[in-house]
Amino acid sequence: MKKNSIPFLLLLGFCFWWAPANAETNKLDNIAACAGVVIGNGAIDFFMGDEAAFDGAADIAYSAYLSEVFTGQAAQNDIQIADQILASKLDKVIAAYNSETFDTEMYEEVVGCYRALSLQLLKAAQVIIDNQAKWSEIKSTSIKTIKRVLKAG
């Protein structure tokens, strides 16, 4: 074995070790982003007086998101970042609504996110069923907090 091939082998080994962890955080981040978009879209319904539509959107989004949080191998730091991604996407949709820039592109993003979360819900259906009692308080608290923020001046 050549001397200069050792660093290459170490780099190759690192890439194989790092790739699954990175794939897990990418999946979590993507689900968080879509959960934020769907909750943001539900927030628009809330602003228009349809609280039930908001509740449904938030339930779908949090069920999909929590199914990935609790079944994935993400570190606490990665979950905190995913929470921030969710919040920023929620803000993005609300800002588009408030600035009257909610366009076809935003609509397509919302539809795409509903599709992505639906696939997650189907894939993780048993996990969701098995854990819905444990997640109920987390979802309820999060939904109440968002409603409080939406109602504030």
DSSP code per residue over 74-99: --HHHHHHHHHHHHHHHHHHHHHHHT
pTM over 0.85: no
Q: CA-CA distance, 77 to 81, in Å (whole number)?
A: 6
Paired tokens of 131: 């854990």
Q: CA-CA distance, 40 to 58, in Å (whole number)?
A: 9
Query: Around Cβ 150, how many Cβ atoms within 10 Å?
Result: 16
DSSP code of residue 124: T
Average pLDDT, the chain: 86
Where does residue 92 fall: left (phi above 0), alpha (psi -120 to 50 degrees), or beta otherwise? alpha
Band of the pLDDT at 23, cuts 50, 70, 90? low
Give the residue from 103, 91, 79 showing the smallest Cα distance to 29.
79
- pLDDT tens digits for 25-60? 799 999 999 999 999 999 999 999 999 999 999 999
Band of the pLDDT at 22, cuts 50, 70, 90? low
Domain segments of the chain: what residues? 25-151
